[in-house]
Amino acid sequence: MLLKKYPKEVQQILSKYPPEGKRSAVMPLLFLAQREEGYVNKAAMQDIAKILDITETDVASIVRFYTLYHDKKAGKYHMQVCTDLPCALRGAEEFLDALCDNLGIEVGETTSDRFLTLEAVTCLAACDKAPMFQTQGPDGIKYHENMNVDKTMGLISVLKKSVT
């Protein structure tokens, strides 16, 4: 399916790696598979495994390890709030709790309008600027630092206006 849907892109990605190292193309192929729907479905994982001569388990383990890949359909935007210890010391957990209250969802859930999925992650490399989060959506990946709930809800409103 992936090879049929994006033959040029798949070949372009594979051309960057020697045949004996083609398994290294797994991450760019995952981004390609995720591009349209916002997640990598089981069929795409199977296709990538076949293309690269690796197991589906190998592909799935990469999807589940990295926070930039998703294996479930979610909101148009993924908001990933860093909650590791340095960020927690700067109020990240309280920020996340208040954000959940404002959005009416729990961590890991998607808003009823399917616009936003809220996740807790560890280490987005901006500990001194917490609370902080990254958004992944149609406009790419963006980092938002030194945030509070009011600024975040304002950002969500702006994002909603920009995609409708």
Question: CA distances (Å), 92 to each of 23, 44, 71, 88, 107, in order?
Answer: 37, 35, 25, 5, 13
Q: What is the mean pLDDT of residues 22-51?
A: 92
Q: What is the pLDDT of residue 33?
A: 92
pTM of the model: 0.77
Q: Is the pLDDT of residue 61 over 90?
A: yes
Name the pLDDT band for 162 (thresholds 50, 70, 90).
confident
Q: How confident is the model at residue 164 (pLDDT cuts 50, 70, 90)?
A: low
* Closest-CA residue to 87 (of 145, 152, 14): 145
Mean pLDDT of the chain: 93
> Which domains are present in the chain?
2-65 (1.10.10.1590), 77-163 (3.40.30.10)
**Helical (H) or strand (E) element with 94:** helix 92-103
Q: Which strands make up the sheet holding 77-82, listed edge to edge?
A: 116-121, 77-82, 133-137, 140-144
| Cβ contacts of 157 within 8 Å, gap of 6 or more | none
**Percent share of the chain, pLDDT over 70:** 99
